[in-house]
Amino acid sequence: MYTKDQFEKYFCKIIGITIDKYRERFVTLPCDCQDDDCTGWACVANNELSIKVHNNRYNGGDHV
Ligand SMILES: [Zn+2]
């Protein structure tokens, strides 16, 4: 299982941006999507709607 920090570094490496750029554009939120390759974290676009949608679906919202 990744820590939040490890996830961010991993994600930046995959998409080829610096951690500073990542933090400008994205936020890292806990994820319980149950995907096989889920790290327990999700990269979500840094805006209110995306964060809200993610939290509803994958972070203790009323999904399932
Ligand atoms: Zn997930």
Residue 23 CB partners (closer than 8 Å, separation 6+): none
Q: What is the pTM (predicted TM-score) of this model?
A: 0.84
Instruction: Give the Å distance between the CA of 64 and the centre of ligand 1.
Output: 14
Q: Does a structural domain hold residue 40?
A: yes
> Which amino acid is it at 48?
E
In the structure encoding, which two tokens stand for residue 20, read together? 């500073």
Distance of alpha carbon 12 from alpha carbon 14, whole angstroms: 5
Q: Does a structural domain hold residue 30?
A: yes
- Asked whether residue 63 carries a pLDDT value surpassing 70, the answer given is no
Sequence length of the chain is 64
Query: What are 1-32's pLDDT values in tens digits?
Result: 899 999 999 999 999 999 999 999 999 999 99
**Domain encompassing residue 46:** 4-58
Q: Does a structural domain hold residue 64?
A: no
Domain count, the chain: 1
Distance of alpha carbon 36 from alpha carbon 27, whole angstroms: 22
Q: Which of 56, 38, 28 has its CA nearest to residue 19?
A: 28
Instruction: Give the Å distance between the CA of 23 and the centre of ligand 1.
Output: 19
Query: What are 41-55's pLDDT values in tens digits?
Result: 999 999 999 999 999
- Asked whether residue 61 carries a pLDDT value surpassing 70, the answer given is no
Instruction: Give the Å distance between the CA of 30 and the centre of ligand 1.
Output: 8
Q: What is the residue whose two structure tokens read 């979500």?
A: 44
Instruction: Give the Å distance between the CA of 20 and the centre of ligand 1.
Output: 23
**pLDDT band at 60; cut points 50, 70, 90:** confident
Instruction: Give the Å distance between the CA of 14 and the centre of ligand 1.
Output: 16
Q: Does a structural domain hold residue 32?
A: yes
